Structure 1
């Protein structure tokens, strides 16, 4: 199994900082609805997609970076 670095961030600014910190590396970004205390996203599509994304990570090259960005709560996003 390839080894990669996983970075978890919340929001646009943290995502940009993570990208800057890993400049020059291949980055895979995954944006999801924020998760609750039980680790479940409010977004049903995100919940369904996560196992597929995790399976795909088994095939990425060594030295890549996977950034998981939680974009916020549903109530916040509905008001944008």
Structure 2
């Protein structure tokens, strides 16, 4: 069982709400391209990074919060 709390959000507004709700805790944030129906991100860098992030989370201490934020699909990112 993880010693940290995981919060999954989608987009900037949900991310900001999650940060505000957990502002008294140590927060780790991971931003990833949104995943398809098969659970795979369109972002090749995110696909490579996710196992590394998951491994590092094994060392997160109790009381920490991990915010996993999906940023949208490829086309929405290009419109920034």
Tell me the TM-score normalized by structure 1.
Answer: 0.95
Following superposition, the deviation at residue 70 of structure 1 comes to 0.3
Following superposition, the deviation at residue 2 of structure 1 comes to 5.1
**Structure 1: where are the runs of 5+ without partners?**
none
Match of 1:71 in 2: 71
- Measured on the aligned residues, the alpha-carbon RMSD in Å equals 1.1
Question: Does the CA contact (< 8 Å) of 1:25 and 1:65 recur in 2?
Answer: yes
Question: Aligned partners of 2:33 and 2:27: how far apart in 1?
Answer: 20
Cα deviation, 1:8-51, whole Å, max 9, x if unaligned, reads 00000000000011111000000000001111000000000000
**Structure 2: where are the runs of 5+ without partners?**
none
Q: Find runs of 4+ consecutive structure 1 residues off by over 3 angstroms.
A: none
Tell me the TM-score normalized by structure 2.
Answer: 0.95
Corresponding pairs, count: 80
